[in-house]
Amino acid sequence: MRRSEPLRALVRETALDPGDLIYPLFICPGKGIRNPVSSMPGVFNLSVDEAVREAEEAARLGLGGLLLFGLPATKDEQGTGAWDDNGIVQQALRALKQTAAAKKLVLVADVCLCEYTSHGHCGVVVKSGDNFDVDNDLTLELLARTAVSHAKAGADVVAPSDMMDGRVAAIRRALDTEGYAQTPILSYASKFASAFYGPFREAADSAPQFGDRKTYQMDGANLREALREIDLDIEEGADMILMKPAMPYLDVVRAARERVDVPIGAYQVSGEYSMLQAAFEKGWLDRDRAMMESLLGLRRAGADFIVTYFAKDAAKLLA
């Protein structure tokens, strides 16, 4: 049954389609801006007009959607740029909604404060001497305001990635109250405190200025805890869930797929992308084969869709 490609294709158990792929974009102020991210070959910080061009290409390639992150002009301790109705992601959403591409793509807005806070943490920081804590409950209101602002600007889906307890319920209440009951929530339900986020923090300018995120992101040793977090988010109203990172946590993707029946996504994060790119540049791996194998593995593990910086390149091969 493996003797020819037509035979292999006939009995192939797992399929990968461009519509399964979501392409992340990093939006920055200005016009005509296309700044390369040094640790992520092929990835750029884009002004709104350049993001529109990317969206048009993504639509032509048949991608499923875009995931938007913002790089604000200024930051403060509260991350007010996150819910500013004229914030950078809100500007991008309004511009994208005016294009024909928006009719073919799902526009997903990441809901978090880390890109907008001067300290780089995902919530309101309370300090006591040399110690600090992220105040979970104070952060919920700000996340809810951010989600409503994104929905108002045109987001098809809001995606909280902060890992505060109770954020899905707070966002659902706020969306329903403000007239956005039809806006789905894609929850980063199990987001681990991972070393694989390093290049992203350059791209989004979101590295913590002190401490780390281990007090609110998940311990990579814990599968059962991840499943409890997934259950809680679904109970609170999450319509979809996202696993992050992907490759080091394939067991979590599989366990979640066997446990719940909501759509599941896997985020092939920056470190996964960058280490493969480094191997490609060295000639150590076949670029096309390794890229597609990495994505197919996520689908086989149980992901219905994949957030990946390889989205455009993979779609071209699939075509």
Distance between terminal CA atoms of the chain?
24
Q: Is the pLDDT of residue 80 over 90?
A: yes
How confident is the model over 230-286, as pLDDT tens digits?
A: 999 999 999 999 999 999 999 999 999 999 999 999 999 999 999 999 999 999 999
Range of the domain at 274: 14-314
Q: Tell me if residue 75 is catalytic.
A: no
Q: Tell me if residue 191 is catalytic.
A: yes
Provide the pLDDT for residue 129.
72
Check whether the bond before 245 is cis (ω within 30° of 0): yes
Pick the catalytic residue from 75, 104, 244, 312.
Answer: 244
Any domain includes 47: yes
How confident is the model over 17-29, as pLDDT tens digits?
A: 999 999 999 999 9
Any domain includes 258: yes
pLDDT band of residue 176 (cuts 50, 70, 90) is: very high
Any domain includes 159: yes
Q: How many helices (H) and strands (E) does the chain have?
A: 11, 12
Any domain includes 8: no
Provide the pLDDT for residue 92.
98
How confident is the model over 182-226, as pLDDT tens digits?
A: 999 999 999 999 999 989 888 877 888 887 888 889 999 999 999
How confident is the model over 125-163, as pLDDT tens digits?
A: 887 777 888 899 999 999 999 999 999 999 999 999 999
Q: Is the pLDDT of residue 56 over 90?
A: yes
Question: What length is written for the chain?
Answer: 319
Domain count, the chain: 1
Q: Which residues fall within 8 angstroms of residue 275, CB to CB, at 6 or more apart?
A: none
Pick the catalytic residue from 191, 282, 312, 316.
Answer: 191
Any domain includes 293: yes
Enumerate the β-bridge partners of residue 158. 109, 185
Any domain includes 3: no
Provide the pLDDT for residue 212.
81
C-alpha distances (whole Å) from 5 to each of 45, 285, 317 are 39, 22, 16
Provide the pLDDT for residue 318.
96
User: Pairing state of beta strands 124-128 and 131-135?
Assistant: antiparallel
Return the number of other C-beta atoms located less than 10 Å from residue 188's C-beta.
25
Provide the pLDDT for residue 215.
86
Token pair for 11: 């009995």
Any domain includes 82: yes
C-alpha distances (whole Å) from 252 to each of 78, 189, 213, 262 are 32, 11, 20, 15
Provide the pLDDT for residue 120.
85
Any idea what the Cα angle at residue 27 is, between residues 26 and 29, rounded to 5°?
145
- Residue-wise over 213-245: b if at least 16 C-beta within 10 A, else e? beebbbebeeeeebbebbebbbebbbbbbbbbb
Any domain includes 109: yes
Work out the mean pLDDT of the chain and round it to a whole number. Answer: 95
Provide the pLDDT for residue 210.
81
Return the CATH number at 122: 3.20.20.70
pLDDT band of residue 42 (cuts 50, 70, 90) is: very high
User: Pairing state of beta strands 264-268 and 157-160?
Assistant: unpaired
